[in-house]
Chain A
Amino acid sequence: EPEVTQTPSHQVTQMGQEVILRCVPISNHLYFYWYRQILGQKVEFLVSFYNNEISEKSEIFDDQFSVERPDGSNFTLKIRSTKLEDSAMYFCASSEALRLLINEQFFGPGTRLTVL
């Protein structure tokens, strides 16, 4: 069964460093998303991406964040200068092009980012 994969599973970095979290969405999906979950808090939407551009972003997704689809398979989230409060589990998700009313998102296992 196709699945979304994410690497690395755990990333430790120093405050101020840049990190890139990688995701491989399901191959025929066209919509891509990043969510995050700070320990003990809700899963929060960060950004959605379609047709090589951001379609929606939350207020969390500030100038420190960027997303990219550098090739036909990967989808990345970059944090330019990490802060302590960026420590969280980051989930990638993907969904097919909208054909039905419901847009089911398929999630990866997450990358746990720890900023020291």
Chain B
Amino acid sequence: AQSVTQLDSHVSVSEGTPVLLRCNYSSSYSPSLFWYVQHPNKGLQLLLKYTSAATLVKGINGFEAEFKKSETSFHLTKPSAHMSDAAEYFCVVRGSGTYKYIFGTGTRLKVLA
């Protein structure tokens, strides 16, 4: 069965410093992977998705993620954090043979001035 593990429930960074949000997946086949962001009182917004076309995926707002099959990882990074990046981030894998999403537990990113 597919699953994702987000290794950090909370991450704090200073504004202007790099962001790293970690995600490991478990899948018996080539997975479909996504990162979503949720700002307070807002819906879940897609940041980026892994389509198997390229291992380095670029998303919105300067975020990117690298699919590493050997490490079963799909970590989310950004070179320089902005105050507006403070939110909850979810790593998601699509279930095998289905459309349903399987969510990680989420990582709350705090950006310090």
Contact = CB atoms under 8 A, between A and B. Distances in A.
A94 B77 CA distance: 27
**B: interface residue count bin:** 20 to 34
Contact of B42 (A35, A101, A104, A109): A109
Given A42-B105, A103-B94, A104-B49, A33 B99 contact: yes
A37 to B, nearest CB: 8
A48 B103 contact: no
A106 interface: yes
Contacts of A3: 43
Interface residues on A, range: 20 to 34
B44 A56 contact: no
Interface string B72-108: 0000000000000000001000110011111111100
B103 A104 contact: no
Q: Which of B46, B95, B99 has the most CB of A within 10 A?
A: B99
